[in-house]
Chain A
């Protein structure tokens, strides 16, 4: 009956029924917990995607302003300073630090920008002319990079959350569509097997009772027949007393022995 359905390979015993029931309960608890986790993460995820969208647009504007100020520098310095800057870059002044944020058990990294002190690679840039523009340009770009760092941490969170949500949803679906039905099937199977055993047992008991009844009836009949015979014999003996006294002793010895044996049999049966 339940052989075709998907179920676990267990023996249909009361113990495994208990185990399966505990398992089903555990699966249901786990399912509801994971479902809630998935919802919390999805909420966070949507918020992050919205912020990414905004930040990307903001970045476009910020970078535009920054390139404009660079153009100002080029104009003021009166030549291309790119080469000079590329060659004088030695050690990063602008660095990032990663910290973690916990969202429903998922660690989301977030970048934080900071500037190291007393580290100026471009002290000589724009020394001749355009020093002010260079300074302003650096500030503008520093702000732009800050925006970029913020965007990058959003994006990292997006990538990680995306992955985690997929995993959690996969688990939720696995529990909902595989583990719970299978455990339910197993429980159903064990129940049906146990019922079957119960019915078998009941039928067997009934059979035994019937047989006993039949045996008792038969024995009663036998006893009755025996008693009647004895009666007959006794009366026959009584009649024969007058004719012959000698052969009386032997049949009388047999009689009680037979009765005893019959009674013993009765005891054995019951």
Chain B
């Protein structure tokens, strides 16, 4: 509830995903690079060579450090790599959303929010 105060400035989306997902979402026009001094991008391309620490750092940056991001999109197979971070993330802002990728079909069983839905209704 404390996070309700700062939701007004959040106007961007952020992406952590494989190349195709990021390319597509950038085409839609969500890409944003902040003003020259820090040049922070709001997207991260992850491939098989990217290590988990880098993903985690990006997740951390998007969710806690940056105050202008309202939604964090993350590919489900990448979310699986830092699953413990996603599952322990319970804040309302920014919202973390797991999206399917081209090579990995969407599995509702793994989604942290859907799992909570299931647990609440005892299914």
8 smallest beta-carbon distances between A and B, as pairs = A89-B31, A93-B29, A141-B28, A92-B32, A94-B29, A60-B106, A67-B102, A82-B23
| Interface flag for A169 (CB, 8 Å) | no
Provide 29 A-B residue pairs closer than 8 Å at the C-beta atoms, listed in order of the A residue. Answer: A49-B120, A52-B114, A53-B117, A56-B111, A63-B100, A66-B24, A67-B101, A70-B23, A70-B24, A70-B27, A70-B102, A82-B20, A85-B27, A85-B31, A86-B45, A90-B33, A92-B32, A94-B13, A109-B4, A109-B7, A122-B27, A148-B13, A148-B73, A151-B97, A152-B95, A156-B95, A159-B92, A162-B120, A164-B1
With A53-B117, A60-B100, A111-B70 as given contacts, are A92 and B108 in contact (CB-CB < 8 Å)?
no
A148 contact set on B, CB distance < 8 A? 13, 71, 73, 97, 99
User: Do B28 and A95 touch (CB < 8 A)?
Assistant: no
B19 contact set on A, CB distance < 8 A? 80, 82
Interface size for A (C-beta < 8 A) is 56
| Interface flag for B121 (CB, 8 Å) | yes
| Interface flag for A158 (CB, 8 Å) | yes
User: Do B11 and A96 touch (CB < 8 A)?
Assistant: yes
Residue numbers of B with Cβ under 8 A of A are 1, 4, 7-8, 10-13, 19-33, 41-43, 45, 70-71, 73, 90-93, 95, 97, 99-102, 105-106, 108, 111, 113-114, 116-117, 120-121
Interface centre among B1, B19, B26, B121 (most CB of A within 10 A): B26
With A85-B23, A86-B43, A145-B25 as given contacts, are A49 and B71 in contact (CB-CB < 8 Å)?
no
| Interface flag for A237 (CB, 8 Å) | no
User: Do A138 and B106 touch (CB < 8 A)?
Assistant: no
- Known pairs A71-B102, A92-B29, A148-B97 / 12 extra A-B pairs, C-beta < 8 Å: A49-B120, A53-B117, A70-B23, A82-B19, A85-B23, A92-B32, A95-B12, A96-B70, A125-B27, A145-B13, A148-B71, A151-B97
Complex CA gap A56/B117 in Å reads 12
User: Do A96 and B23 touch (CB < 8 A)?
Assistant: no
A10 contact set on B, CB distance < 8 A? none
User: What does DSSP make chain A's interface, helix, strand, loop or mixed?
Assistant: helix
| Interface flag for A160 (CB, 8 Å) | yes
User: Do B31 and A156 touch (CB < 8 A)?
Assistant: no
B97 contact set on A, CB distance < 8 A? 148, 151-152, 155
B13 contact set on A, CB distance < 8 A? 92, 94, 96, 145, 148-149
**Minimum C-beta distance from B63 to chain A (A):** 13
With A67-B24, A82-B23 as given contacts, are A121 and B117 in contact (CB-CB < 8 Å)?
no
| Interface flag for A221 (CB, 8 Å) | no
B91 contact set on A, CB distance < 8 A? 159
Complex CA gap A63/B17 in Å reads 13
A64 contact set on B, CB distance < 8 A? 100
Residue of B nearest to A164 (CB): B1
Complex CA gap A160/B93 in Å reads 10
A122 contact set on B, CB distance < 8 A? 27
Residue numbers of A with Cβ under 8 A of B are 49, 52-53, 56-57, 59-60, 63-64, 66-67, 70-71, 80-82, 85-86, 89-98, 107, 109, 111, 115, 119, 121-122, 125, 134, 137-138, 141-142, 144-145, 148-149, 151-153, 155-156, 158-160, 162-164
User: Do A89 and B26 touch (CB < 8 A)?
Assistant: yes
User: Do A59 and B100 touch (CB < 8 A)?
Assistant: yes
